[in-house]
Amino acid sequence: IPYRLVGEGLREVLTKAAAPAVREDALAAVRAVGDAWGLDPGPVRLSKVGSRLDVDVTFLVDAGARASTVADFDAVRAALHEHLQRTGLEPALSVGFTADRRWLT
């Protein structure tokens, strides 16, 4: 068995961070959606297991944000899901929203 396959398999079994190229694509998607809605994304946590990409992000909602209702927040989630599907993986999202910067850690 090639060492590369063993390493990739082990990473997925342990639910480690996504590969750098996938991470870059996912972070670009989070930034694009945040910019479109006037939201500041906090830290983004990513992991990949098989064809699933786990994404955990909390957006800061301030006075200048376009998103302010539950329907808006659902639209942000939908847009993020759509962008992340372009990675070729199936996104599993955990998306939060806060007006208090301390929750972005």
Check residue 63 and give its pLDDT.
85
Hey, how many other C-beta atoms are within 10 angstroms of the C-beta on 65?
18
pTM: 0.80
Q: What is the pLDDT of residues 23-81, one digit of tens each?
A: 999 999 999 999 999 999 999 999 888 889 999 999 999 988 898 899 999 999 999 99
Task: Answer with the residue of higher pLDDT: 20 or 97.
Answer: 97
Q: What is the pLDDT confidence band of residue 12, given thresholds at 50, 70 and 90?
A: low
Residues 6+ apart with CB under 8 A from 4: none
The kind and range of the H/E element at 71 are helix 70-85
pLDDT surpasses 60 at 13? no
DSSP letter at 19 equals P
